[in-house]
Each structure stands twice: as C-alpha cells, then as structure tokens.
Amino acid sequence: MKEIRYVRAITEALDEEIARDEKVFLIGEDIGRGEGIFNTHRGLLAKYGDKRVKDTPISESAFMGLALGAAMAGLRPVVDILFMDFLTVCMDPLINHIAKARYMFGGQYTMPITITASTGAGLGAGPHHSQCLEAWFAHIPGLKVVMPSTPYDVKGLLKSAIRDDNPVLFLYDKTIIAVKGEIPEEEYLVPLGKADIKREGTDVTVVAVSKMVTQALMAADKLAAEGISIEVIDPRTISPLDMETIISSVKKTSKLVIVHEAVKKFGIGAEIAATVVEEAMDYLDAPIKRVGAPFTPVPISPPEEKAYIPSADQIIEAVKEIAS
Amino acid sequence: MITVTMPKLGLTMKEGTIVEWHKKEGDAVQKGETLFVLETEKVSYEVEAPEAGVLGKIVAQVGDVVPVGGVIAYILQPGETPAAIPGQAGAAAAPAAAPATAEAPAAEALEKVKISPLARRIAEEHNINMLAIKGTGPEGRIVKEDVLKAIEEAKAAPAPAPVPAAPPVAVPAPPPPTVEAEEELRPLSSMRKVIAERMTETFTVPHFYLTIEVDTTELGKLRQALLPAVEAKTGVRLTVTDLLIKVVARSLEENPSINCQYADGSVRLFKRIDIGLVTSVEGGLIVPVIRQANKKTLAEISKTRSELAQKARDRKLVREEMTGSTFTVSNLGMFGIDQFSALLQPPESAILAVGATVDKPVARDGQVVIRPMMTLTLSIDHRVLDGVAGANFLQSLKRYIESPGLLLL
C-alpha cells in the first residue's frame, strides 16, 4: 500500500489509462501546459505529448462535440471541464447527443467518453465555481455519474470510467484534493455502480456523497461516543445508484439520513428516499431525514459559505432526531 | 366542514357500532376531544375530534352500525352554518359514503395512529392492537421498540384477562402456518373469526344433549290450514320454523328455568323471551333475534323471521338485531338432516337443534303406522340446568307440536 493525495489519484488513473490504451486521449482547458487548474494533469503533457494531451481554447461546447465525433470514430476521449458549473455551456452535445448516441444509432457506436469536472463549495469561489449539480445529470438516461470521496475510490473509479463504453461524468470535489489516503501499489479497479460501506453501524444508516462522506465519518465518531452507532454508506456512483446496498442497510437499522452538499431540494436525497419508501417502507421506524445545502446560490462570503456547506454537526442533529 | 367517518381500526374491520356519544349536536368541540365511543368485534375505541369546531350533526346514533368510511357526524368550522351539511335526517346507519370514496376517509382516520411503518408491520404480524400502545418516539409516535415491548408484555401475561371496556392488548399470534404445495391458505373473514372464537368458547361450558322424537302430523295440518291466511295477511309463507318458534316461546314461558344464563357464580333468569334463529349466510352464520316471541302472533313471528332473514342475507342487520337472544333455535331440517346436536351460543344456556321431518313407522295403539316424525335435540349448560329441567322442556315442546291446538289456550 502507498499513501496518495486525492488529486494525485486522478493523475495516476489518467497516466495509467493513457499508457494502457492508445485510443485514450485527454482534452480540455489548461490541462497541458497548465497541468490542470487543480494540478490534476501534472506531468502528462511532458510524458505523452500533445497528441494525447490536447489543450483547447475556452470552447466547451466545441470540444465536447469533438469528443462525440472522436468517440464515434473509435477513440476514448477524457474531457476535462474544470468546474462542473461550466457543463451548462455544453449541454447540447452532452445531453442530446453523447448521452443518446448509443440508443439512437441502435448500438452502432459506443460512447466511451469520460468527463472530469470539479464540484464543491469551500474555496470562496462563488456561485459560478462551486455548485454540485449531480442530480441534473443523474436524471439523464445514458449518462453515468461518479462522485468519489477517497483517493482509493478516485483512482479505481476513474480507470473504470475510462474503460466504460458509455459516457461517464466523473465529479471530483475540488476542496478535498489534498486529502491523503492509501491505495494499493499494484493496479486495481473499482466497479461503477457499487456502493461502499465506509463504516458499519447498527442504529442509523447515513448515506453520504463525495465530500460529505468525510463529514459523516466525523459525525460517526462523535455519535459513537454518545452510544449511537451509524452506518456510513458512500454510493460512489450516483447513476447507476446501488440501492441494494442502501436498502439492505436500512432493513438493518430501520432509519435513514441522506447527506449531500447539493441543495436539499430536488437533490439525489429525494430519489434515494423515494426509492427506500417504495421498496422498504415497512422497514422504516422513523421519517427519512435529508441533510443538504439551503436552497440558495453558493455564497462567496467565507462565513456564509461555511454556513452553507452541510456539516458533521448537522448530520449529528439529523441522526439524533430519529435515533431513539 | 369536517366529515367524521368510521375509522378502519384493523385490517379486517368492516364496520363499527356507535356505543356512546360524548357530545351532542351544537356542542363546541376541541381538536383531540373524545367525540364518541365505537365498538368493533374486537375493540372499543374513543374517537377524537380531528379538528375544532361545532358538532353540526350527528348522523349515526348510539347503536347504529356504520361501515368503515361511512359518515358518522359533521363538524362545522367557524363561519359555516348547518345549511352546509349534506343530506337530511334518516341517513343514519346508511352507508353515506359510496364504496369508492369510503377508503379515503378510512385511511385518513388510520393516520391518527401515529406509528412508524416498521412498527405497524410488526404490530400487524403479531396481532398487536396499535391503539393500545403508547408511543415513545418523536411526537409520541409508536416505534419498533414500543411494539416489541407490547409483544413482551403480552407474552408475560398470556391470560386473555378480558376487561370488557378496555381494548384487548397484544394477543401474540401463533407462528404462521406453513403451506404445502397442494394447499391454499385463506385468511378467515371477520365473521368466520368471530364464529371460530365463539364456538371455541363453547367448549369451556360443560354441556350435554337430550333428544326427543315428535310426531308432526298435527303441526303439518295446522301449517297447511294457516298458510293462505298468513300469506294473505303478511305476504310471507308460513314455515315449520315459524310454528316451532311459537312453540318454543310458549314452552319457555312454561319452563322459565330454561330461559337463563350462567353469569359468573349466579344464574341470570330472563323474563323476556327473545329467540335467536341460526341463519345461514354466505361464508358463515348469523343469528338474528326475534324479540318477545311469546307475545307475537304467529303471523307476526312469520313476518319478523322473514324480514330478519332477508336482512341477514343482505348483511344489513344492525347490532341489536343480532344480540341479546335468550334461547336459540337451529333448524337443519330443510337440508335433510335427521338429527344433530348444536353447540351452545355462549352465554346462552340452551339451544334447540331441529332435524328433518321424516315419515317413519311408529307404534300407535298397538299398530304400526307411518307418521311424519321430527327429532329435536336440546343442548344444555349443565352448570345451571339439569336433565330433568331439559326433559320437561322437551316434553312441553312435544305436547304443543303434537297438539298445536293447545297454543290457543
């Protein structure tokens, strides 16, 4: 095992997949000489040259369309969009074409496109550079959405995403890129669509996404000191969503809290809650609680931004409301 | 305006009886205040006002049997006048809500039991009365632990301990029966469950049977003679059962000791003679009661019996028409059964089982003759009645059946 930072796990995955498959190439703004604004692409241009690592002008819609054509021609593009907020400017190629091409052309083409983009508030980056919009994309049939919380999951999931023949939106949280974690020395993959139980517990199931996994684990420590045992489940992949793991945990604990940084309203918490009620209502012993950001744009003022981001304390509060 | 409807208090509940009103029309009511008490086959339950207001109209009176979802009362809210109340008097006891819409208010009423889905499921699996559990969850919600506690308590006190007023708490259900491939497991209807409970109860009563054969020649002649007159008067065909009820009523007058019930160390002797008649309906039995049978003419008995039987088949009998009989008659003669013994209907102390009338050779004045004979079997609670009392009663029946003219005396 070795210790690695979250951001470096991205670099390693990209590095290994470019080396492994000559059809893989990287494209985006500031990823070549700039090495990615969060240093995600460090050393890759120097190592593989500009045929495999393409810098672009500020033209997301154009190079997302380019990726569509490249995929149709048999390549495996890895498109970097910096901030997921910027996906809004290339929605047509992504939603109307990339997500639907396999379906509309009767499977004549595969769409092995991976789109990397960052999420998350906490850097004072303001309303345009901090959003968590995963629910939008999870709502689109044909797109897979991945949100890893640890270096181990980042590397294993990104490699699986690049090898997947479907478009995968790989969303990493820019505020935890320096977080360290252990990964194996040898190559490994983490399958898409498989949740991970980050901590086992008996009293309340807490489903937490991306950065919120860390908050949930902090909450778990504090709650354990008070005699409340929570089970922390990290879906890792938002779509497809591993409801089986979540439901089997709820059947064990009978109580559920869902945590995401995205605004609570219409978030993926609603989807998870609804599915649990549909499939396991008779196992619930308390209302399902959701913890999410307030329904407002991400504030730029540091104290307001801090108040905006869901915290371990809010998770503790939600758990205590239903843990009798 | 709030419509108060019959809540559904259990999966099998189909109707409930209003046993007491705590409020009268025009009274102001607070949310949560007890409006009335209802009774089902299983529980009695205080129904609270869902909202504050004025009790605008009581649709279902004490004694009325109201189907689940049926309208019981209307509560007027500020600014509303009684003119808003739909329908007029006489709606009582009628299912005011159409079946299609009946479910919604019923579900709404069930919502009043604040219980988690998990706790509800466990309670239902263990046949625990949710209404009797105190919730300890947030806002008083019944949660899993509360139900598990109730199950434990029920196990700790397995005796039924029937305190009549209190709803029966927590009867632990036996483990679910296993079903083999060639079998089908059907849940019992609520009527069937009641029959099962009551008939099982019978075996706690030490009882015995007495049988007598009677010659129905004269009774048959009388029936033929009276048929047109009774039909002209009532529109109903006089039956042998009608005549037997008349005969039983008269015999009970002559043998008042039979008209009694064992009552926990005492014997309750009835002055009224109310005769229950076991009536077959789809899926089970109902026992409508012919009140004051001894004071009714034969035509009145015939008419009452016919009306009650029709109501029984239509499931329209109200509670008072099915309770309080002092003696019961069960006639299987029309089904070709020669003789049978009936199970007592607790708390009654006697029941008469009537077999078919069959032509048989009998000895009369040293000669063998063919006569229509009927077998009567009396079942008796031996705690309060002995063989001689039963024999005297049967002799009395025999006398009236063989010489029905005596009924005129």
**Predicted confidence (pLDDT) per residue in A5-43, tens digit:** 999 999 999 999 999 999 999 999 999 999 999 999 999
Closest-CA residue to A11 (of A36, A30, A33, A46): A36
pLDDT at B284: 85
Of A8-17, A40-49, B105-114, the least confident: B105-114
ipTM: 0.76
Chain A residues close to B121, C-beta within 8 Å:
282-283
Mean pLDDT in residue range A206-232: 97
Give CA A304 to chain center in angstroms: 24
Q: Does A323 touch chain B (CB under 8 A)?
A: no
> Can you read off the two tokens belonging to residue B110?
């069930």
A236: pLDDT strictly greater than 80? yes
Mean pLDDT in residue range A165-179: 97
Catalytic residue chosen out of the listed positions B22, B126, B207, B382: B382
Q: CB-CB: which of A281, A321, A324 is closest to B117?
A: A281
B101: pLDDT strictly greater than 60? no
B107: pLDDT strictly greater than 60? no
Q: Where are the beta strands (DSSP E) in B104-248?
A: 207-215
Q: Do A286 and B120 touch (CB under 8 A)?
A: no
3-state class (DSSP) for residue B53: strand
Cα within 13 Å of Cα(A225), Cβ side: 6
Closest-CA residue to A256 (of A232, A227, A235): A232
Q: Do B143 and A284 touch (CB under 8 A)?
A: no
pLDDT at B282: 83
Q: Does A229 touch chain B (CB under 8 A)?
A: no
> Residues near B134 by Cβ (< 8 Å), separated by ≥ 6?
B140, B142, B146
Residue B360 pLDDT grade (very low, low, confident, very high; cuts 50, 70, 90): very high
Mean pLDDT in residue range A189-202: 98
How much is the mean pLDDT over chain B? 84
Alpha-carbon distance B130 to nearest alpha carbon in chain A (angstroms): 14
Alpha-carbon distance A284 to nearest alpha carbon in chain B (angstroms): 5
Chain A residues close to B118, C-beta within 8 Å:
254, 282-285
Mean pLDDT in residue range A232-259: 97
Angle subtended by helix axes B387-402 and B240-254, to nearest 10 = 130
Between B331 and B161, where is the model more confident? B331
Q: Using CA atoms, how far apart are residues B77 and B28, in angstroms rounded to an integer?
A: 10
Longest dimension (CA), chain A: 60
pLDDT at A50: 94
A275: pLDDT strictly greater than 80? yes
B87: pLDDT strictly greater than 80? no
Q: Do B117 and A324 touch (CB under 8 A)?
A: no
CB of B55 within 8 A of CB of B75? yes
Q: Where are the alpha helices (DSSP H) in chain A?
A: 6-20, 44-48, 60-72, 91, 101-104, 134-138, 151-163, 211-225, 243-253, 268-280, 302-308, 312-322
Name the pTM for this structure. Answer: 0.55
Q: CB-CB: which of B118, B136, B141 is closest to A254?
A: B118
Mean pLDDT in residue range A292-318: 97
Residue B293 pLDDT grade (very low, low, confident, very high; cuts 50, 70, 90): very high
Taking the C-alpha atoms of A302, A304, A309 and A313 in order, what is their torsion angle to the nearest 10 degrees? 110
Q: Does A278 touch chain B (CB under 8 A)?
A: no
Q: Do B116 and A282 touch (CB under 8 A)?
A: no
Q: Using CA atoms, how far apart are residues A66 and A59, in angstroms rounded to an integer?
A: 11
Helices (H) and strands (E) in chain B, counts: 8, 18
Residue B157 pLDDT grade (very low, low, confident, very high; cuts 50, 70, 90): low
Closest residue in A to B143 (Cα) is A285
Q: What residues does A291 pair with on adjacent strands?
A: A259
What long-range pairs does B30-36 form, CB within 8 A, spacing at least 24? B35/B4, B35/B73, B36/B72, B36/B73
Q: Does A273 touch chain B (CB under 8 A)?
A: no
Q: What residues does B54 pair with on adjacent strands?
A: B28, B76
Catalytic residue chosen out of the listed positions A17, A29, A35, A60: A60
Residue A302 pLDDT grade (very low, low, confident, very high; cuts 50, 70, 90): very high
Alpha-carbon distance B154 to nearest alpha carbon in chain A (angstroms): 21
Q: b/e for B172-190, b at 16 or more Cβ within 10 A? A: eeeeeeeeeeeeeeeeeeb
Mean pLDDT in residue range B132-151: 87
Q: Using CA atoms, how far apart are residues A16 and A8, in angstroms rounded to an integer?
A: 12
Closest-CA residue to B355 (of B227, B241, B238): B241
Closest residue in B to A286 (Cα) is B116
pLDDT at B105: 38
Radius of gyration of chain A (CA): 19
Helix (H) or strand (E) holding A79, with range, is strand A76-83
pLDDT at B31: 85
Residue A192 pLDDT grade (very low, low, confident, very high; cuts 50, 70, 90): very high
pLDDT at B63: 84
Residue B175 pLDDT grade (very low, low, confident, very high; cuts 50, 70, 90): low
pLDDT at B165: 44
pLDDT at B171: 53
Q: CB-CB: which of A281, A283, A286 is closest to B137?
A: A286
pLDDT at B167: 44
pLDDT at B97: 39
Residue B11 pLDDT grade (very low, low, confident, very high; cuts 50, 70, 90): low
Q: CB-CB: which of B120, B121, B136 is closest to A324?
A: B136
Residue B202 pLDDT grade (very low, low, confident, very high; cuts 50, 70, 90): confident
Domains and CATH numbers, chain A: 2-183 (3.40.50.970), 196-323 (3.40.50.920)
Q: Does A281 touch chain B (CB under 8 A)?
A: yes
B104: pLDDT strictly greater than 70? no
Catalytic residue chosen out of the listed positions A41, A97, A129, A260: A129
Q: Does A109 touch chain B (CB under 8 A)?
A: no
B382 as an active site residue: the answer is yes
3-state class (DSSP) for residue A74: coil
Residue to test with chain A: of B118, B142, B144, most A Cβ within 10 A: B118
Of A301-305, B69-73, B107-111, B176-180, the least confident: B107-111
Q: Does B121 touch chain A (CB under 8 A)?
A: yes
Q: Do B117 and A283 touch (CB under 8 A)?
A: yes
Of A109-118, A229-238, B103-112, the least confident: B103-112
Question: Residue B400: how many CB atoms within 10 A of its CB?
Answer: 24
Q: CB-CB: which of B118, B136, B138 is closest to A282?
A: B118
Mean pLDDT in residue range A173-189: 97
State the pairing for strand pair B15-21/B34-39. antiparallel
A269: pLDDT strictly greater than 90? yes
Chain B residues close to A282, C-beta within 8 Å:
117-118, 120-121
Q: Using CA atoms, how far apart are residues A1 and A183, in angstroms rounded to an integer?
A: 5
pLDDT at B238: 94
> Can you read off the two tokens belonging to residue B25?
């029309």
B366: pLDDT strictly greater than 50? yes
A59: pLDDT strictly greater than 50? yes
Mean pLDDT in residue range B210-228: 94
> Can you read off the two tokens belonging to residue B202?
């019978």
Q: CB-CB: which of A284, A321, A322 is closest to B117?
A: A284
Chain B residues close to A256, C-beta within 8 Å:
none
Alpha-carbon distance A271 to nearest alpha carbon in chain B (angstroms): 19
Chain A residues close to B120, C-beta within 8 Å:
282
Q: Using CA atoms, how far apart are residues A78 and A65, in angstroms rounded to an integer?
A: 13
Q: Does A283 touch chain B (CB under 8 A)?
A: yes
Of A200-204, B3-7, B22-26, B169-173, the least confident: B169-173
State the pairing for strand pair A168-173/A114-119. parallel
